[in-house]
């Protein structure tokens, strides 16, 4: 090897990576076969589903979604409550709201055709810097600098960027730009993600299998797993609340959460305030003979943990306007976020 050439050599990275990708690419439901034209709708949908969400979690949900809403027009015309229910369990529910809003914008403002350029894509709700670049590259073949957490890791190691995230993102993006090829930009982006997912992993990268080993400065220096350096995480506060299970015959009262904020727009069980100390029976949805169960439900969100007490009551009144009375036997189909699905399971474990 020529000891004077740069490491990594930007001209060598893409060819080596693409050759590896041609042999080892993952077969994924949203990925076009080699030589096949990508469907922008499927590319966009998969990219949004995959935001902060693992391939393992998305894989079983993707085809069912496409079967139900196969294109922009059908999604633009969809019942938003059904869309939200279909997203239940995937988290970050603003993504589902933005999916419908973006589909409507495609139909209303772009004649039903997905915009092909990165800047216009960036104007659609839910498409940030990453997703706009990924769609431009993967669906339309444009050269775009696609930087997700995989690319950050691979690039930080290739170039031995020791600055901590998030400050390192400026240098990482500049380095990613230097190795992004003009041709096969979509394959290059997906190859970087496959490499980050399967070879250049967070804790114990498989450097001996890596097609970029000869280009990697962190490998040469001996400790690639130390990069990228990350800022220390803050402790998550503990909160407490109460879930109110109001039963009438074989039905339970469900409400819809406010359109924005935590679990925004989702069906839910009624809750009282979420606060720093156990609130007991504060703020029930209706006056009833509430009984506190012994069991609690624990759940972790990104920025706090919560422990919820379960209060149960029965009623004969209709309580019109409070929410929906939902058949308990069909609760699976209500599309409850995981927290409330857990609570329902806890109530029924004891009743069942």
Catalytic residues: 47
For DNA (CB under 7 A), the number of binding residues is 57
Among 263, 269, 288, 334, binds DNA (CB under 7 A): 263
Contacts of 270 (CB under 8 A, 6+ apart): 243, 244, 246, 253, 255, 284, 285, 323
By CB under 7 A, which span of 214-222, 227-235, 245-253, 279-287 interacts with DNA?
227-235
CB of 77 to DNA, least distance (A): 21
CB contact at 8 A, 284 and 255: no
Helix (H, G, I), strand (E, B) or coil at 311: strand
C-beta closer to DNA: residue 230 or 350: 230
Q: Which of 53, 142, 213, 247 binds DNA (CB under 7 A)?
A: 53
Query: Please, are residues 44 and 20 in contact by the beta-carbon 8 Å criterion?
Result: no
Binding of residue 120 to DNA (CB under 7 A): no
Phi-psi region of 184 (alpha: psi -120 to 50; beta: other; left: phi over 0): left
* Residue 233 binds DNA (CB under 7 A): yes
- What is the longest distance spanned by two Cα atoms in the chain? 84
Among 127, 155, 212, 254, binds DNA (CB under 7 A): 127
Asked if 339 touches DNA (CB under 7 A), the answer is yes
Taking the complex as a whole, the smallest distance from the CB of residue 130 to DNA amounts, in Å, to: 3
213 binds DNA (CB under 7 A): no
CA distances from 286 to 125, 183, 253, 312, 342 (A): 37, 62, 10, 12, 22
Tell me the C-alpha distance between 215 and 7, whole Å. 6
Which of 234, 218, 121 minimizes the C-alpha distance to 175? 218
- 118 near DNA (CB under 7 A): no
Nearest-angstrom CA–CA distance, 203 and 226: 8
Quote the DSSP letter at residue 271: B
- Quick note: the x/- pattern for DNA over 285-314, rule CB under 7 A, is --------------xxxxx-----------
Taking the least distance from each CB to DNA, the nearer of 45 and 216 is: 45
Q: Using the structure block, give the residue that is written with the tokens 């990924």.
A: 134
By CB under 7 A, tell whether 337 contacts DNA: yes
- Segment interacting with DNA (CB under 7 A) among 47-55, 70-78, 105-113, 243-251: 47-55
> What is the nearest approach in angstroms of DNA to the Cβ of residue 262?
4
Which residues contribute to the site for DNA (CB under 7 A)? 28, 30-31, 46-47, 50-57, 88-94, 98, 125-132, 134, 148-150, 153, 166, 190, 193-194, 196-197, 202-203, 230, 233-234, 261-264, 299-303, 337-339
């Amino acid at each position: 090897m020529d000891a004077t050439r740069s490491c990594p050599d930007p001209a060598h990275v893409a060819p080596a990576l693409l050759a590896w990708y041609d042999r080892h690419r993952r077969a994924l439901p949203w990925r076009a076969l080699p030589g096949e034209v990508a469907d922008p709708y499927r590319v966009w949908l998969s990219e949004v589903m995959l935001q902060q969400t693992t391939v393992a979690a998305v894989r079983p949900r993707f085809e069912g979604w496409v079967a139900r809403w196969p294109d922009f027009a059908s999604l633009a015309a969809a019942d938003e409550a059904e869309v939200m229910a279909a997203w239940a369990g995937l988290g970050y529910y603003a993504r589902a709201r933005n999916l419908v809003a973006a589909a409507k914008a495609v139909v209303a403002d772009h004649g039903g055709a997905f915009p092909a350029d990165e800047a216009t894509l960036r104007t659609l709700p839910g498409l940030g810097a990453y997703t706009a670049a990924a769609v431009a590259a993967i669906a339309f073949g444009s050269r775009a600098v696609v930087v997700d957490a995989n690319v950050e890791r691979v690039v930080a190691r290739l170039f031995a960027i020791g600055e901590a995230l998030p400050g390192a993102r400026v240098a990482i993006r500049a380095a990613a730009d230097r190795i992004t090829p003009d041709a096969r930009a979509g394959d290059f982006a997906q190859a970087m993600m496959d490499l980050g997912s399967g070879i250049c992993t967070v804790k114990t990268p498989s450097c001996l299998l890596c097609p970029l080993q000869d280009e990697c400065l962190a490998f040469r220096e001996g400790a690639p797993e130390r990069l990228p350096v990350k800022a220390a995480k803050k402790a998550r506060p503990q909160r407490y609340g109460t879930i109110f299970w109001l039963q009438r015959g074989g039905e339970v009262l469900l409400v819809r959460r406010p359109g924005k904020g935590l679990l925004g727009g989702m069906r839910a069980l009624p809750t009282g305030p979420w606060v720093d100390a156990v609130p007991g029976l504060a703020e029930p949805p209706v006056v009833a003979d509430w009984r506190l169960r012994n069991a609690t439900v624990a759940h972790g969100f990104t920025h706090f943990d919560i422990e919820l007490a379960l209060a149960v009551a029965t009623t004969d009144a209709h309580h019109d306007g409070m929410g929906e009375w939902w058949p308990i036997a069909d609760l699976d189909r209500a599309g409850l976020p995981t927290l409330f699905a857990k609570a329902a399971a806890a109530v029924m474990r004891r009743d069942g």
